[in-house]
């Protein structure tokens, strides 16, 4: 001030806490939740594979029992196999996992303009991977292995395997009564439910993958809706900031002289720290809103909007109010231009700008309190055309008019640009969740391919019989592909109703974590239909390779 330099305000930050720490914590929380779901999918895959392996080797288990193997010895054989799979997974996952995490961290830190450190192995992360990689396969394999180890030699000799004997249950008899279908389709339908435990595990994997995908799509749509609603607080098409406050009438006259500008308003904004009872200061901004504004459409969560007759009334940001237990009717003190001003909270407003630190007061009251009556430095305007080229032309004309009237603009921003920037902040989260959903779908596809491959091996003699009575390769190929598609469509039918409540719950968690408010929930119908297409294609591809193997089985080999 001694140098005649105007000071608009100041902010003090904790040097030990990054300003984006809360947002980054939210992103990491979402990654942990999605990582846990991916791990659950892997568990389904292991259970399915071990159940199929034990099922396929029932006769071998019977032989081991005959020559003296105990239940514990049989269990150890198959648990050792599961442990070997875990060790193999660690070899294949730890090195690429470390590289991928380094690249992902670099991408996230680059968004915050933070330089990434050198690549290094994190011992804690590797230790967690090793613990999970060894424990999860053993736990997932425990139930099918113990079931197989309990089989007696007599049961093994007379059994076709765990889950054999299709046609004994009411569900089997119900499927058997379906007579109007073409014979290959009827065979596919009956074969689908021949191994109920196996198909249940495969369905579980695909259902979980489908729920994850539809939940992510619904959250993406809900987040987009929420941002659109919150950005409607400022319904401007173009914003201009000038170097210092000017008379409002002069700014409006110059702005409205530009062709294409339909209406304009002069606002003011000041850095303002909310002072709390314990002496802490919460940095933020105070916006002066003109009476009868056409551009300010606040979304209040409590109380009311600002009225023309209001004096020292404030719309306080909901995040600040929730963080510090401030309610409608309370008074708050804000330091503006080194002056402490007391305001009465008449409403709480949702706003995502400036890390949810924007608050709103009447323009005239703010100008009068800081000795700046009828003056402002922010001009918000509406334009006749909304496209980028029109805004560029209006901006050029504004510069020329302001220069002629000795008004110096320092910043221009379009409303569409502000929306794009705000959405880009949340797109990172959406992309991460979509990547995990795609990964879940891939795991589900691998599970289905494993199931279909085992089905082909088990039904080798059946395939030989069909070939002997005249079945063509195309017919056998169609039977197995239709069987896989039936599983995929059934998983979609189960996942669809489950995805709605799951999306609602997860949407609330993400909204409260990121924005400290529930998202404007919107269920993604497009996401549900898209997953149907994805799961049909995925099921077809997952069934194709086993089906091609089935067509190569000759009658003699069977």
The model's pLDDT over 148-185, given as tens digits with 9 standing for 90+, comes to 888 888 777 665 543 445 455 555 565 666 666 666 66
Q: What is the pLDDT of residue 161?
A: 42
C-alpha–C-alpha distance, residues 177 and 171, integer Å: 10
Vertex 402: Cα angle to 397 and 406 (nearest 5): 155
Q: What is the pLDDT of residue 469?
A: 84
The pLDDT-based confidence of 64 (bands split at 50, 70, 90) is confident
426, HSE (Cβ side, Cα atoms, 13 Å): 23
Coil, helix or strand at residue 266: strand
Token pair listed for 338: 């080194």
C-alpha–C-alpha distance, residues 558 and 524, integer Å: 48
C-alpha–C-alpha distance, residues 425 and 360, integer Å: 23
The pLDDT-based confidence of 520 (bands split at 50, 70, 90) is confident
The pLDDT-based confidence of 362 (bands split at 50, 70, 90) is very high
C-alpha–C-alpha distance, residues 269 and 286, integer Å: 6
Give residue-wise pLDDT tens across range 371-387: 878 888 889 898 888 77
> What are the start-end ranges of the H helices in 71-176?
71-111, 123-149, 153-158, 170-176
Q: What is the pLDDT of residue 170?
A: 56
Q: Is 163 left (phi over 0), alpha (psi -120 to 50) or beta?
A: left
Give whichever of 8-17, 472-481, 520-529 has the largest mean pLDDT: 520-529
The yes-or-no verdict on residue 498 having pLDDT over 90 is yes
Q: What is the pLDDT of residue 173?
A: 60
Residue 54 contacts residue 148 (beta carbons within 8 Å): yes
Give residue-wise pLDDT tens across range 225-273: 777 776 666 678 888 988 888 898 999 999 999 988 898 999 988 888 8
Q: Strand pairing of 358-362 and 339-350?
A: unpaired
Q: What is the pLDDT of residue 186?
A: 64
Q: What is the pLDDT of residue 314?
A: 92
Looking only at Cα atoms, what is the longest distance across the chain?
Answer: 103
C-alpha–C-alpha distance, residues 398 and 392, integer Å: 10
Token pair listed for 348: 């709480």
CB contact burial 476-513 (16+ within 10 A = b; e otherwise) = bbbbbbbbbbbbbebbbebbbeebbebbbebbebbbee
DSSP designation for 467: H
Q: For the residues 188-210, what does the mean pLDDT come to?
A: 72
Q: What is the pLDDT of residue 162?
A: 38
Q: What is the pLDDT of residue 507?
A: 84
Rounded mean pLDDT of the chain? Answer: 81
Share of the chain above pLDDT 90, in %: 11
C-alpha–C-alpha distance, residues 515 and 197, integer Å: 43
The pLDDT-based confidence of 87 (bands split at 50, 70, 90) is very high
Consecutive H or E run containing 251: helix 248-256
Q: For the residues 200-226, what does the mean pLDDT come to?
A: 83
Q: What is the pLDDT of residue 233?
A: 63
Question: Residue 431 CB: number of other CB atoms within 10 A?
Answer: 12
Q: Is 356 left (phi over 0), alpha (psi -120 to 50) or beta?
A: left
Residue 186 contacts residue 475 (beta carbons within 8 Å): no
Token pair listed for 84: 């070997």
**How many separate helices (H) and strands (E) can be counted in the chain?**
16, 10
C-alpha–C-alpha distance, residues 493 and 486, integer Å: 10
DSSP designation for 152: -
The yes-or-no verdict on residue 39 having pLDDT over 50 is yes
- Of 97-111, 161-175, 316-330, 462-476, the range with the lowest mean pLDDT is 161-175
C-alpha–C-alpha distance, residues 504 and 518, integer Å: 10
Tell me the residue ranges of DSSP E strands in 386-491: 409-414
Q: For the residues 287-312, what does the mean pLDDT come to?
A: 86
C-alpha–C-alpha distance, residues 158 and 164, integer Å: 11
Nearest to 484 by CA among 86, 189, 59: 189
End-to-end CA gap in the chain: 95
pTM given for the model: 0.68
């Amino acid at each position: 001030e001694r140098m005649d330099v105007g000071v608009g305000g100041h902010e003090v930050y904790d040097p030990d806490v990054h300003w984006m720490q809360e947002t980054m914590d939210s992103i990491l929380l979402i990654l942990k939740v999605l990582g846990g779901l991916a791990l659950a999918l892997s568990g389904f895959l292991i259970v399915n594979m071990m159940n199929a392996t034990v099922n396929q080797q029932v006769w071998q288990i019977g032989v081991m029992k005959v020559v003296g193997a105990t239940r514990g010895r049989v269990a150890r054989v198959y648990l050792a196999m599961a442990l070997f799979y875990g060790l193999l997974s660690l070899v294949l996952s730890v090195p690429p996992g470390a590289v991928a995490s380094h690249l992902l961290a670099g991408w996230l830190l680059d968004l915050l303009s933070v330089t990434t450190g050198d690549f290094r192995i994190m011992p804690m992360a590797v230790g967690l991977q090793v613990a999970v990689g060894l424990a999860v396969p053993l736990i997932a394999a425990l139930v099918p292995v113990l079931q197989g180890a309990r089989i007696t030699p007599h049961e093994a000799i007379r059994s076709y395997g765990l889950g054999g004997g299709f046609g004994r249950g009411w569900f089997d008899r119900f499927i058997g009564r379906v007579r109007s279908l073409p014979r290959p389709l009827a065979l596919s339908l009956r074969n689908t439910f021949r191994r109920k435990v196996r198909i249940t595990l495969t369905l579980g994997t695909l259902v979980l993958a489908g729920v994850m995908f539809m939940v992510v799509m619904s959250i993406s749509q809900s987040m987009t809706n929420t941002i659109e609603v919150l950005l409607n607080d400022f319904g401007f098409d173009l914003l201009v900031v000038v170097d210092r406050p000017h008379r409002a009438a002069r700014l409006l006259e110059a702005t409205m002289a530009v062709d294409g500008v339909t209406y304009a308003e002069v606002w003011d904004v000041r850095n303002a720290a909310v002072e709390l009872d314990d002496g802490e200061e919460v940095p933020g901004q105070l916006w002066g809103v003109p009476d009868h504004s056409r551009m300010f459409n606040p979304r209040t969560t409590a109380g009311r909007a600002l009225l023309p007759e209001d004096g020292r009334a404030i719309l306080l940001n909901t995040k600040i109010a929730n963080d510090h237990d401030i309610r409608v009717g309370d008074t708050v003190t804000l330091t503006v231009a080194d002056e402490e001003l007391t305001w009465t909270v008449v409403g709480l407003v949702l706003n995502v700008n400036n890390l949810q630190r924007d608050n709103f007061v009447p323009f005239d009251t703010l100008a009068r309190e800081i000795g700046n009556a009828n003056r402002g430095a922010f001009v918000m305007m509406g334009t006749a055309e909304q496209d980028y080229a029109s805004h560029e032309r209006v901006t050029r004309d504004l510069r020329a008019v302001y220069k002629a009237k000795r008004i110096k603009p320092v910043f221009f921003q379009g409303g569409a640009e502000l929306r794009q920037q705000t959405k880009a902040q949340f797109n990172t989260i959406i992309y991460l969740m979509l990547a995990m959903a795609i990964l879940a779908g891939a795991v589900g596809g691998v599970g289905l391919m494993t199931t279909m491959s085992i089905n082909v091996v088990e039904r080798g003699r059946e395939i030989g019989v069909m070939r002997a009575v005249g079945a063509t390769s195309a017919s056998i190929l169609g039977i197995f592909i239709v069987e896989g598609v039936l599983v995929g469509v059934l998983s979609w039918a189960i996942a669809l109703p489950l995805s709605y409540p799951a999306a609602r719950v997860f949407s609330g968690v993400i909204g409260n974590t990121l924005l400290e408010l529930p998202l404007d929930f919107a269920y993604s119908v497009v996401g549900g239909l898209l997953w149907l297409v994805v799961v049909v294609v995925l099921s077809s591809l997952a069934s194709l390779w086993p089906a091609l193997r089935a067509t190569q089985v000759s009658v003699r080999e069977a």
